[in-house]
Amino acid sequence: MSNSVIKNLLTKSFQAFKLRPMEGETSETIQAAFISELTHLQEAVRAVNAEDLSLDDTVKSIPKSNQQPVTFVDIFENSMMTMMVIIMKPGSRIPLHDHPNMYGMIKVLAGQIRVQSYTLLDEPGKIMDHHTPKNTVLSALRMPETVLSKVSSPVTLSPEIRNVHEIECICGESGDKNYAAFLDILSPPYPDADSCHYFRAEDHSQRTDGSGELRKCRLVQIECPKDYFTACSSVGPF
């Protein structure tokens, strides 16, 4: 794994996320500075490939006894951000979940993934409370489905836009590389497991325009699906 690539990504991440506007901040100067640095981070992420992150070696280091369909490989984490590579077996999925008050960025390194995102119409803070009861219903827009591969540009989520999503592995690389993998950056990290909420999408019938691409729907908060289980490993810190 290239330490220089990781260090560059971390530097760009720190430069961007330290400028993140505070909640309620309306200064156009602060907003513009943050967006500028976030764009620089996107450019750095766009240039990353599997070789930079020694993906083949990372996959080979995962025990063959690992039966989990999704493996999280930690690269770096502090109070500001987390960076990891997520490896998925074909047909596996990361169920519909949120990122409370977070920014996120995904860059595919191998294979193909399908991302279905939702933009909340309710106040994002409504689902940040750990005590929010299950079966809470939120209004959302179902965004156009996106299929990503290693030639795709990074996709970004924010506290307001595309904050809830589901990720499915469509297929792996050719030959013996039967997996999909992507770089995942989040800021800030989840403070604990209870901070991630899972959902079931209902009622996609209400279209908001003539194209049928954006549809109003309901997101019903549920327990973490029982068929979702993962493994974790570490290749950091750097």
Three-class DSSP category at 37: helix
Query: Which of 2-16, 60-74, 182-196, 223-237 is least confident?
Result: 223-237
State how far the alpha carbon of 223 is from the alpha carbons of 60, 204, 220, in Å. Answer: 33, 21, 10
- DSSP annotation of 179 reads -
Query: Which of 10-19, 45-54, 133-142, 203-212 is least confident?
Result: 203-212
Predicted confidence band of residue 237 (pLDDT cuts 50, 70, 90): very low
More reliable by pLDDT, 181 or 64: 181
Query: Which of 38-42, 215-219, 224-228 is least confident?
Result: 224-228
- The average pLDDT across 17-46 equals 88
Q: What's the rounded Cα separation, in Å, for the pair 95 and 165? A: 8
Specify the pLDDT at position 236: 43
More reliable by pLDDT, 111 or 59: 111
- Mean pLDDT, rounded, of the chain: 85
Please, what are the domains in the chain? 64-234 (2.60.120.10)
Predicted confidence band of residue 67 (pLDDT cuts 50, 70, 90): confident
In b/e form, how buried is each residue of 197-207, taking b as 16+ CB within 10 angstroms? Answer: bbbebeeeeee
Which position has the token pair 């990891």? 84
Tokens representing residue 228 in the block: 């979702």
- The average pLDDT across 9-32 equals 87
User: Is the pLDDT at 62 greater than 90, yes or no?
Assistant: no
Predicted confidence band of residue 126 (pLDDT cuts 50, 70, 90): low
Q: What's the rounded Cα separation, in Å, for the pair 145 and 133? A: 29
Which position has the token pair 């750097």? 238
CA Rg, the chain, in Å? 18
User: Is the pLDDT at 200 greater than 60, yes or no?
Assistant: yes
Specify the pLDDT at position 33: 93
Percentage of residues in the chain with pLDDT exceeding 90? Answer: 58
From 83, 49, 86, 72, select the one nearest 169 (Cα to Cα).
86
User: Is the pLDDT at 117 greater than 70, yes or no?
Assistant: yes
Specify the pLDDT at position 171: 83
User: Is the pLDDT at 85 greater than 90, yes or no?
Assistant: yes
Tokens representing residue 127 in the block: 């689902």
Based on DSSP, count helices (H) and strands (E) in the chain, helices before strands. 3, 13
More reliable by pLDDT, 128 or 109: 109
Specify the pLDDT at position 198: 93
